Amino acid sequence: MSTIASDSPPGSAPDNRAPKRDLLKRLILLTVALLIVLAAVAYWLVTGRYSISTEDAYVGGNVVMVTAQVSGVVTAIEADDTDHVRAGQTVIRIDDTDARLALDRAQAQLALVVREVRSRYASAETARANVEVREVALARAAADALQMVRQQWKSSRAAIDRVSLDRNPAVLAAAAQVRDAYVDLGRTVVPAPVAGIVTRRHV
């Protein structure tokens, strides 16, 4: 009969823990690898798929031309290439000195015309009062004298007949000049027509 010598001390059971340890290590490594893969997939699904990077790219899109409605010297450029702008945001400022002066002149002209038309109304009222005074004083006077005063009143009244101050043609023309000057002043600021990013700026 033969005997097999064992390295283990007499009375100890064979070591079954080594294969279990290897199996446990493999399971832990497999679980960690699976968690890393799941985390990478989750990151890509949440944010990664929306990220694009390149060193040589050009984005084509709708290009909206922005042009000033008045000519002048550009004093400020408030949006440059690749800047995001909102609709209505000022992108260019033009020197508004001439437009402000034109607006001031138009407003002064309007005030002058209103004063002149009011003076005409006052003159017409004075002429009417004169007619009444003369009618009483000259009731017995010759018809020619009375006719002359009435003619003067009619000519004064003809300039304003059936037209109120706010409908007087001279006042309307001066008010139109104020509106034109105001619009020109507003056009010295060039707003962005739509929200987006500035590209190919030429100013």
pLDDT, tens digit (0-9, with 9 covering 90-100), for 9-44: 555 555 567 788 888 888 999 999 999 999 999 988
Condensed to tens digits (0 to 9), the pLDDT of residues 81-106 reads: 888 899 999 999 999 999 999 999 99
H-run or E-run covering 191:
strand 189-191
Average confidence score pLDDT of the chain:
81
Which DSSP category does 14 fall into?
P
pLDDT at 30: 93
Q: How far is Cα 190 from Cα 146, in angstroms, rounded to an integer? A: 63
* pLDDT tier, 4 (very low <50, low <70, confident <90, very high otherwise): very low
Q: How far is Cα 84 from Cα 80, in angstroms, rounded to an integer? A: 9
Contact 160, 168 (CB under 8 A): yes
Ranges of each domain in the chain: 20-44, 96-187
Condensed to tens digits (0 to 9), the pLDDT of residues 106-161 reads: 999 999 999 998 888 888 888 888 888 877 776 766 667 777 777 887 777 766 66
Q: How remote is the C-alpha of 151 from its chain's centroid? A: 57
H helix intervals, the chain: 17-46, 97-137, 143-158, 169-186
pLDDT at 12: 52
Instruction: Tell me how crowded residue 8 is: count the other CB atoms within 10 A of its CB.
Output: 9
